[in-house]
Amino acid sequence: DTAVSQTPKYLVTQMGNDKSIKCEQNLGHDTMYWYKQDSKKFLKIMFSYNNKELIINETVPNRFSPKSPDKAHLNLHINSLELGDSAVYFCASSQGLGDEQFFGPGTRLTVL
Amino acid sequence: QKEVEQDPGPLSVPEGAIVSLNCTYSNSAFQYFMWYRQYSRKGPELLMYTYSSGNKEDGRFTAQVDKSSKYISLFIRDSQPSDSATYLCAIGDNYGQNFVFGPGTRLSVLP
């Protein structure tokens, strides 16, 4: 049983397109996150979402928007994709803020 | 100064060796300390989690936190080839809203 799942696993798209990545957790956690891991393997937090409160890393462009239809899902929507958006995007969840985080398998996004 | 610093390696050791992985951090507000293991093309997997100074042991893994020096370590005893991966330290603030990851240390355990 996968605890944190993401789809798609791979995403190749053209510059300027809009795309979404889906994330689901079946752990009953209250908090979910999105991270970006760039080619140098730096893992940086983009968003955390806890009890309908969204905390945004101020360095994240507003082309990125998380959408949470319910507590078990936090999708990432990206508008007007740019070459620099190419990276692996990881979703994670935790019981609450500050608790252990469990990561999904990642979505490798390539923007051409 | 970067918030979290970690030697990127690569670090190569023979099977059975004791491995020491380290991170330093700059912000004393950080209260949560984690170590993750990441295999190639996989998501990070939590190994250890602690919020206090001192040692925490789990099998072959020991996490050590020294808040006064802003220094954390992960020790792996009797290292195995299956331990070959990138190890990331992650440090969070008291509110759990801000987590910062180190760049990771790539470890190779040679049979």
Residue among A43, A101, A105 minimizing CB distance to B42: A105
For an interface test with A, give the residue of B101, B106, B107 to mutate (most A CBs within 10 A).
B101
Q: How large is the average pLDDT for residues A50-68?
A: 85
Q: Find tokens 């670090």 and name the residue.
A: B11
Residues B101, B4 contacting (CB under 8 angstroms): yes
Chain B residue numbers with beta carbons less than 8 Å from the beta carbon of A9 are none
Q: Looking at chain B, how many residues does it have?
A: 111
Q: What tokens appear for B24 in the block? A: 């330093």
Confidence of residue B52 (pLDDT cuts 50, 70, 90): confident
Q: E strands, A15-63, where?
A: 19-25, 31-37, 43-50, 53-56
Residue whose C-alpha is closest to residue B13's, from B64, B68, B87, B71: B87
Confidence of residue B29 (pLDDT cuts 50, 70, 90): confident
Q: Which residue of B has its CA nearest to A101?
A: B46
Residue whose C-alpha is closest to residue B91's, from B49, B58, B57, B53: B49
pLDDT higher for B31 or A11? Answer: A11
Chain A residue numbers with beta carbons less than 8 Å from the beta carbon of B45 are 103
pLDDT at B54 over 80: yes
Phi, psi of A83, deg, nearest 5:
-55, -40
Return the pLDDT at B3: 84
User: A38 in contact with B at a CB cutoff of 8 Å?
Assistant: no
Confidence of residue B7 (pLDDT cuts 50, 70, 90): confident
Q: How large is the average pLDDT for residues A10-21?
A: 96
The residue type found at A67 is K
pLDDT at A89 over 90: yes
Chain A residue numbers with beta carbons less than 8 Å from the beta carbon of B44 are 43, 90, 103
Distance between start and end Cα atoms, chain B: 37
Angle at Cα B35 formed by Cα B62 and Cα A11, nearest 5°? 150
Chain B residue numbers with beta carbons less than 8 Å from the beta carbon of A43 are 44, 88, 90, 101, 104
Residue whose C-alpha is closest to residue B83's, from B22, B24, B12, B28: B12
Phi, psi of A22, deg, nearest 5:
-105, 145
Confidence of residue A28 (pLDDT cuts 50, 70, 90): very high
- Is A101 in contact with B99 (Cβ distance < 8 A)? yes
